[in-house]
Structure 1
Amino acid sequence: MKARCLCGVTQFEVQLRNHEVAACHCSMCRRQTAGPLMSIDVENINFIDQQHLSVFSSSEWGERGFCNMCGTFIFWRIKDHSFANINVFTLEHPPEDLNFNLEIYVDNQPSFYSFNNQTKKMTEAEVVALFNSNQ
C-alpha cells in the first residue's frame, strides 16, 4: 500500500499486518500528534523517498519517524525493526474494512476525551510487559 506525509516529499509503501487500528494515549504520542496516535501495524516500511525522513530515539527501545519538511508523524518502531506501526492516516487509500479495536496507555489518557468504540484497553504496564516479553 502506498503512503505519504502531508506535503508528499516522504513517500513509502507498506504491507499491513492486519486491518486493526489502535489508539495510543501515551504522553509522547499526544505531544507529537496533538491527540492520540491512530496507528496500524505493518510488516515492513519501504521508503520510496526518504530524503526528508528524520528518526527520533524516543526511548531505550523505541524510535519515531517523521517528515522534517511538514512534520507528519510516520512511524513508531522497535529499534531492532522487529515491530513497527504507522500513522494510519498516511495511507493514500486505506482499506474500507479498518477496525478500531485497541487503545493503549489508557492510564495516561486525559479525562477530557474518550472514544465511543468498544475496544480492548491496555495500561502502560501491560504494553511495556508485552514488548519486554517479545525481546
Structure 2
Amino acid sequence: MKGQCVCAATQFEVELQNHHVHSCHCSICRRQTSGVIMTIDIVPGSLKFSQQAQLAIYDSSTWGERGFCKQCGTNLFWRTKDQSYCNINAFALNEAPADLDFGLEIYIDNKPDFYSFAGQRKTLTEADVVAMFQADPKA
C-alpha cells in the first residue's frame, strides 16, 4: 500500500500486518495530533520510503521513535528503535482498505474525560504498553 504526508514531500510503501486500527491516548500523541492518533500495524521491515528528503525521526522514548514530515508536520509512524514493531498513521494511506476495524485503545488511563469513542474494544493502560515495548524491563 502507498501513503504520504499532507504535502506529499514524504511518500512511502508499506505492507499492513492486519486491518485493525488502534488509537493512542498518550500525552505525546495527544499533543502531536490535538487528539488521538489512529494507527495500523505493519509487517516489520516493510516501511520503504520513495521520497524521504523531508522525513525526520523523533527519539520519543527509550524504546520508541516517531517519524514525521519536516515540511508539513504530518505524523507518519511510530516504531521500536530496533524496528521489530511499527505502526503507521491510518490516514496517511492513499487508499485505506474498506474492511478496517477499530479494535484497540492504548494508554486508556491517560485519556481525558471529555471525549470517548462509541462501542466496545480492547483497552491497554500505560503500564500494559510499557511492559510490552520497553527494551529492558529493569530500566
TM-score scaled by length of structure 1: 0.96
What is the alpha-carbon distance in structure 1 between the residues aligned to residue 90 and residue 83 of structure 2? 18
RMSD of Structure 2 on Structure 1 (CA) = 1.4
Matches within 5 A, 1:78-117: 78-117=80-119
Letter in 1 for 2:78: W
Matched residue count: 135
2:61 paired residue number:
59
What is the alpha-carbon distance in structure 1 between the residues aligned to residue 8 and residue 135 of structure 2? 37
1:25 paired residue number:
25
Q: CA 1:53 to 1:3, structure 2 compared with 1: closer, same or farther past 3 Å?
A: same
Secondary structure at the aligned position of 1:38 is classed as strand
Deviation at 1:134, TM superposition (A): 9.8
Secondary structure at the aligned position of 1:64 is classed as strand
TM-score scaled by length of structure 2: 0.94
What is the alpha-carbon distance in structure 2 between the residues aligned to residue 131 and residue 82 of structure 1? 10
Q: CA 1:57 to 1:133, structure 2 compared with 1: closer, same or farther past 3 Å?
A: closer
What is the alpha-carbon distance in structure 1 between the residues aligned to residue 36 and residue 63 of structure 2? 20
1:19-75 Cα offsets, whole Å, 9 max, x none, are 000000000000111111100001121100000000000001100000000000000
Deviation at 1:129, TM superposition (A): 1.1
Long gaps (5+) in structure 2? none
1:37 paired residue number:
37
Secondary structure at the aligned position of 2:47 is classed as strand
Letter in 2 for 1:108: N
Are the counterparts in 1 of residues 63 and 133 from structure 2 also a CA contact under 8 Å?
A: no
What is the alpha-carbon distance in structure 1 between the residues aligned to residue 136 and residue 62 of structure 2? 15
Deviation at 1:126, TM superposition (A): 0.8
What is the alpha-carbon distance in structure 1 between the residues aligned to residue 58 and residue 108 of structure 2? 23
Deviation at 1:132, TM superposition (A): 3.7
1:73-126 Cα offsets, whole Å, 9 max, x none, are 000000011100000000000000000010000000000000002110110001
Deviation at 1:133, TM superposition (A): 8.1
Long gaps (5+) in structure 1? none
